Amino acid sequence: SVQVWSDYLHVHLHPKSVYVIRQYMHDGYCGCLEAFGQGESLLQDPGCIEELEDRLHFYVEECDYLQGFQVLCDLHNGFSGVGAKVTELLYDEYSGKGILTWGLTPVMSHLEDSQKNFYRLMNTALGIVHLSSHSSLFCPLSLSGSLGIK
């Protein structure tokens, strides 16, 4: 049965490359991951950060010559906070390695309510500041010329 977009994915991913945030799944108990602080607080949990580090070390040990990392991250929702903490972890643990970060935003609808637009604006601003401070190069990407900022 199809429940989420990844159910359509026909590529089999390595189990260590996928980390599911259970409380924010479609049937999770926390609802939507819509604020920067929510995403940031997810990686404050020692169990979560330990699991993330284990998965990261698994792939780093497979590299013959690690040159750097690429991080793709949504800017408009709580994943900007997750991405900020991940880039901070990479920056602290692998200093001297390049971190290329892509900040992604969708095209905005003019019909959405003002509270969602406010959250989107704040998440984008906080994401740009935090992601760019821990990245070698930060590149925002959007099909909209304004990154959703009016």
pLDDT digits (tens, 9 = 90+) for 58-72: 999 999 999 999 999
User: Which amino acid is located at 83 in the chain?
Assistant: G
In a domain, 74, yes or no: yes
Q: What are the backbone angles phi and psi of residue 134, rounded to the nearest 5°? A: -115, 15
pTM of the model: 0.83
Closest CA to 127 of 86, 66, 67: 86
State residue 98's pLDDT score.
Answer: 96
In a domain, 16, yes or no: no
Closest CA to 103 of 80, 78, 135: 80
Tell me: the pLDDT tens digits for 19-37? 877 776 655 556 678 889 9
State residue 147's pLDDT score.
Answer: 61
Confidence of residue 107 (pLDDT cuts 50, 70, 90): confident
Domain assignment of residue 94, given as a range: 34-142
Q: Give the span between the Cα atoms of 43 and 87, in whole angstroms.
A: 11
Q: What is the CATH number of the domain that holds 46?
A: 3.40.50.1440
In a domain, 18, yes or no: no
Q: Give the span between the Cα atoms of 72 and 130, in whole angstroms.
A: 14
In a domain, 65, yes or no: yes
Q: How high is the mean pLDDT of the chain? A: 85
In a domain, 89, yes or no: yes
In a domain, 83, yes or no: yes
Number of domains in the chain: 1
Q: What are the backbone angles phi and psi of residue 105, rounded to the nearest 5°? A: -135, 145
State residue 65's pLDDT score.
Answer: 92
Examine the pLDDT at 117 and tell me if it is beyond 90: no
Tell me: the pLDDT tens digits for 73-99? 999 888 999 999 999 999 999 989 999
